[in-house]
Structure 1
Amino acid sequence: MIPFLLIIFLLALGIQLFYIIFVLAKINKYPNLEEEPPAKLPAVSIIVCSWNELSNLQELIPLLNSQNYPTFEVIIVDDRSHDGTYDYLLTESHCFEKVRFLRIEHPPEHLSPKKYALTLGIKSAKYEVILLTDADCRPQSALWIQGMAQLLNAQKDIVLGFSPYFSSKGFLNKLIRYETFLTALQYFSFALYGMPYMGVGRNLMYRKSLFFNNRGFAKHTNILGGDDDLFMNEVANVHNTAVCLEPETFMYSIPKETWQDWYRQKTRHISVSKYYKKENKIALGLLASSQILFWLSLIALIPFVFFDLLKYWIIGLFLLRLIVHWVVLASANKLLDRTISTISIPCWDFLITGYYLWMGLNNIVPKRRKMRWK
């Protein structure tokens, strides 16, 4: 039993150290060497799709309208809202010179409401560069558009931005912020490593031509989610994708406040990962499974080696992985606006293993999901 567990432990440890040192640590070398930003910044169309988001739009629209950028527009796509959003847009949108809106009354049944709303917004956009966010998001500064747009050039068609969650009291909020930080760390680092696999629609920029040249969401119209990550998984590559980690471009978002809402959100997000490219699924699967096996084999080995000198080697290897992981994530946390508590990283590293197990098993069981916004 001990040799088997030890092999599993060492194998998982080796995979973990490879990912931590050679992939996740890539983010800490930002800013990477990029070409000079374009002399003339491109005109940008910001698209916000909403469903019953009146209070959020009342806060967000003035912030978007006042962005410090030469040429841009803000398109609000209202999907059948019944909370007063339509009346607000009718009576107040003219007060904001950059803002216009579209109203959806009858979305098609074959396409998720969010994907249909996005498609209409992109078709309606005046400008070639599309910048996406959600109604419950708030830009960190008036330089959000500028910071994202300056990374576009002749080679780059996509800019991945960061969208952390606001901090509040409670364990759920801490879990949401850590999981969001970890997800961002992974997709940013993989992109810098040369394997971009996803983006987050709360802060995402790409060219309109890229969307239509790839037939938009045509390859995954039957999938509930994926309006951001599946599309990015399809079109992003090492050559056309840039990463933006400038603090003024961060787009903060309002997190879920109940376990049920968060669970629904995460199951929707994770359910689309099965449609990623094969190489992405293998890479992400190895990362998650090696962490699970590392902790499980460590726990299983403890009773067998408690009175053996082997325990000192195991403790040493455990501490090696703990310290390397802690240092890399702590450095990344500074870069990402200190969105989590640095001292809590080892604790969350253990707890997130249970999350991986739970969500992985949940994703295996097929479920029929009704198409809905959130």
Structure 2
Amino acid sequence: MITSLLAGWLGVLVIQVLCLLFLFARTAFRPVPTPVGAPSAAQGVTVVVCANNEHDNLLELLPMLTAQDYPLFEVLVMDDRSTDLSDVLLEELVPLLPNLRYIRVDVEAAHVTPKKYALTIAMKKATYPTVLLTDADCRPASDQWLAGMVAPLQSPSTEMVLGISPYSRRPGFLNFLIRSETLFTAVQYVSMALAGRPYMGVGRNLLYRRDLFFRHKGFYSHMRVWGGDDDLFVNEAATPQNVAVSLHPDTFTLSTPKETWADWKRQKQRHLAVGKHYKTGDKLWLGLITGTHVLSWLLGLLVAGYVVWLILTHQTTLLYQPLLLITTGLFVLRFGLFWGIIGRISHRFDQLVRWYAMPATDLTLAVYYCLSTARMVFTWRRKQTGW
């Protein structure tokens, strides 16, 4: 039994080490260009914000958006059936803030989810050929956000730019979990994009050309899926040639995290439901990364427990077997690489998680992914059996 456990653990650890060294290290050590400021002549950009009852957030966000250091842009707010007087606020702000306009959406379409309906209207009504998406509860890191996100479009083949959107730091374990999961999600989608396999982005900070949107018929293939207006569109439209990533801190948007377990649970349920619609190859890659992450800890604990049992029963000879020593050493190497590489990325991503908390993040993510998988399996079985 111990030999089988060690062999399985060894294989899992080899995959993890390879992912860290040859995939995630791309993000950890990729040079970040120095921002050059807004160009004197640039293509026009429409910044799109979909808002549903976001009066207070809009009041704070819109002056920051209209103050971006960029020569040609507009801010288009889609007021999606708000009942908190957002339309009154927008009416008052339009004469005061340059480049601001809004469109009121009063109906909910039967054939498409509300946000996708609002975004589709925004794509049709946008003044400029490039759109930059963010949410009402996000804040740009600087007045160079817009210029920095547009900069990769200087390459003629680039049609989409994936941005970073860290969550703000709050006290409590829930916030730590959110920041840890957000960090590793960003590590995965950025690293995969740099490796030529882009599969998702976040609508809190995402830029693409309108022509790309209409060539792929917008959200047609998933218009009834609740969510996915960002990652499912990227999963469908992104190619190794047309995607760039923006890693400079000036181009980040800082987001507000959920503050209750119930709100966070609903958000994650929506995300997991969307993930089922990814391309098969992308689901396999993500399953390999997260599955080996979980197993690296789970098999390690099983091996440790078995070794303790051997010691207690005075069967200590196996402790000196080369396979046990090699596998344990590889786990230590994997642990150190995770701490170093993911910790370096976290530092680049606005210190989503402090370096000294990285071991806790490592273990927390393993437990989180294990429980999420168990829950999905349980839900699937319940649907299949009806109990």
Q: Which amino acid aligns with 2:20?
A: I
Deviation at 1:226, TM superposition (A): 0.6
- Alignment counterpart, residue 346 of structure 1, candidates 351, 359, 373: 359
Q: Deviations over 1:78-111 (max 9, x none)?
A: 1111111111112222211211001111121221
Please point out which of 207, 223, 226 is paired with 1:224.
226
Is the CA contact (8 Å cut-off) linking 1:43 and 1:71 kept in structure 2? yes
Q: Is 1:188 the equivalent of 2:190? A: yes
The SS at the match of 1:206 is strand
Residue 224 of structure 2 aligns to a residue whose secondary structure is: coil
Q: Residue type matched to 1:17 in 2?
A: V
Q: What's the CA shift for 1:278?
A: 1.2
One-letter code aligned to 1:142:
D
Q: Which residue of 1 aligns with 2:135?
A: 134
| Cα deviation code 1:133-160 (max 9, x no counterpart) | 0000000100110001011031100000
Instruction: Report the alpha carbon displacement of residue 18 of structure 1 after superposing the two structures with TM.
Output: 1.2
Change (3 A) 1:69 1:275: same
* TM-score relative to the length of structure 2: 0.91
Shift of 1:312: 3.9
State the alpha-carbon separation in 2 of the partners of residues 329 and 176 from structure 1.
16
Q: Percent identity?
A: 42
In 2, distance between residues paired with 1:160 and 1:65? 21
Superposed displacement of residue 305, structure 1: 2.3
Greater CA drift, 348-357 or 312-321: 312-321
1:167 match: secondary structure: coil
Stretch of structure 1 that moved more, 228-237 or 334-343: 334-343
Of structures 1 and 2, the larger Rg is shown by 2
Q: Secondary structure at the match of 1:361?
A: helix
- Once residues 38 and 363 of structure 1 are traced to their aligned partners in structure 2, the CA distance between those partners, rounded to angstroms, is 48
1:209 to 208, 211, 223: 211
**Residue number in structure 2 paired with 1:108:** 109
Q: Which moved more, 1:4-13 or 1:241-250?
A: 4-13
Cα deviation, 1:269-326, whole Å, max 9, x if unaligned, reads 1211111111111111000111111111111111322332245444322211111111
Change (3 A) 1:7 1:312: closer
Match of 2:376 among 363, 366, 369: 363
Inter-partner Cα distance in structure 2 for 1:312 and 1:361: 31
Q: Give 3-state SS (helix, strand or coil) of 1:106's partner.
A: coil
- Aligned positions of 1:1-374 closer than 5 A: 1-31=1-31, 40-152=41-153, 153-306=155-308, 307=311, 308-310=319-321, 311-364=324-377, 365=379
The letter for the 2-side match of 1:178 is: S
Distance in 2 between residues matched to 1:363 and 1:91, nearest whole Å: 47
Deviation at 1:246, TM superposition (A): 0.8
Distance in structure 1 (CA, Å) of the matches to 2:65 and 2:374: 40
What is the aligned partner in structure 2 of residue 371 from structure 1?
none
CA contact (8 A) 1:160 1:199 kept: yes
- Cα distance in 2 for residues equivalent to 1:136 and 1:187: 22
Please identify, of 216-225 and 36-45, the stretch whose mean Cα deviation from structure 2 is larger: 36-45
Contact in 1 for aligned 2:10/2:327 (Cα 8 Å): no
Q: Measure the CA separation in 1 of the matches of 2:371 and 2:225.
A: 22
Kindly provide the amino acid, as one letter, of the partner of residue 363 in structure 1.
M
C-alpha contact 2:192 2:199 (8 A) present in aligned 1: yes
Q: Distance in 1 between matches of 2:6 and 2:231?
A: 37
Q: Which moved more, 1:329-338 or 1:312-321?
A: 312-321
1:39 and 1:210 map into 2 onto residues whose CA distance is 26
Tell me, in whole angstroms, the C-alpha distance in 2 between the residues paired with 1:61 and 1:39: 23
Instruction: Compare 310-319 and 137-146 and name the one that shifted more.
Output: 310-319
Question: What amino acid maps onto 2:143 in structure 1?
Answer: A
Q: Deviation per CA, 1:16-45, whole angstroms, max 9, x where unpaired?
A: 111111111110232379xx9998421100
Structure 1: 5+ residue stretches without partners: 369-374
Q: Residue 41 of structure 2 contacts residue 71 of structure 2 at CA under 8 Å; is this kept in 1?
A: no
Change beyond 3 A, Cα 1:53–1:38:
closer
Contact 1:41 1:150 in 2 (8 A): no
* Residue identity in the other structure for 1:319: V
| Amino acid across the alignment from 1:193 | A
- 1:260 to 1:50, Cα distance in 2 relative to 1, 3 A: same
In structure 2, the residue corresponding to 1:174 is in which secondary structure? helix
Q: Secondary structure at the match of 1:352?
A: helix
Are the counterparts in 2 of residues 147 and 249 from structure 1 also a CA contact under 8 Å?
yes
RMSD: 2.0
Aligned to 2:315: none
The question of whether the paired residues in 2 share the 8 Å contact of 1:132 and 1:202 is answered with yes
CA pair 79-243 structure 1, distance change in 2 beyond 3 A: same
CA distance in 2, matches of 1:198, 1:87: 35
SS in 2 for 1:94: coil
